Amino acid sequence: MLSKVFLSSFMVLALAPISPAFSQQADMSFFVTSTNPGKGGDLGGLEGADAYCAGLAKSAGSTKTGWHAYLSATAPNGNAGVNARDRIGKGPWQNAKGVVIAKNVEDLHSDSNNLNKDTALTEKGDPVKGRGDDVNMHDMLTGSDPQGLYSTAGGDTTCHNWTSSGEGSAILGHHDRKGLKESRHMMSWNSAHGSIGCDMESLKKTGGAGLFYCFAGD
């Protein structure tokens, strides 16, 4: 006969709540980075940004693979660059709480997507502060136009393809879909305005913290 002590211990283990890392983050396929790697717009290029996404996802308990940062890159001499929308897989994508933010690439880049302050959570499942909070961190590095394509506007739009922590500029999106005015650009999650620099201080001045979106492409 099993002892009362053994039965008691078994019941405690059986009733113990499942770790959030396995109950929620395991199926996570989208998140906002909780922190910047430490060098502002210098993310180590696209490869460095992708590796950072993968590392954060793994630390949070995600079982997904093929993580990519939602970042575009340009190419010299008018050659074709890299589009953020082409790097993130087919979807659907869900956050750390299991909420679907978009069904596919077209849905993500349409007015019907579900990406906003309540759903654009970090890999830990935490909300990111935005406009109206004590600290505004709503600027997301993207280097992209509203359709997720690399910019052809001229000038630097990607912090020198994500290798600069000083001079340069990057196109930013607003994860909370809010800005100084209720204009189309200010309400854009991926293409609101440019940064005034690529160092952390410059990124903070316009309402950011050097954060960016990560998507699982598997």
Q: Token match 């600290």: residue? A: 135
Whole-Å CA distances, 140 to 10, 12, 17, 205: 47, 43, 34, 13
| Cβ neighbour number for residue 152 with a 10 Å cutoff | 10
Quick one: average pLDDT of 83-92? 97
Task: Assess whether pLDDT exceeds 50 at residue 66.
Answer: yes
pLDDT at 151: 92
The third-level CATH classification (topology) of the domain covering 24-216 is Mannose-Binding Protein A; Chain A (3.10.100)
pLDDT of residue 10: 34
> pLDDT higher for 217 or 67?
67
Task: Classify residue 184 by burial, with Cβ atoms within 10 Å: 0-12, 13-18, 19+.
Answer: exposed
The pLDDT confidence band at residue 126, using thresholds 50, 70 and 90, is very high
Of 135, 129, 93, give the one whose Cα is nearest residue 114. Answer: 93
How far apart, in Å, are the Cα atoms of 132 and each of 116, 135, 186? Answer: 14, 8, 14
At a CB cut-off of 8 Å and minimum separation 6, what does 155 contact? Answer: 169
Task: In whole angstroms, give the CA distance from residue 204 to residue 196.
Answer: 10
Q: Model's pTM, two decimal places?
A: 0.88
- pLDDT of 23 > 80? The answer is no
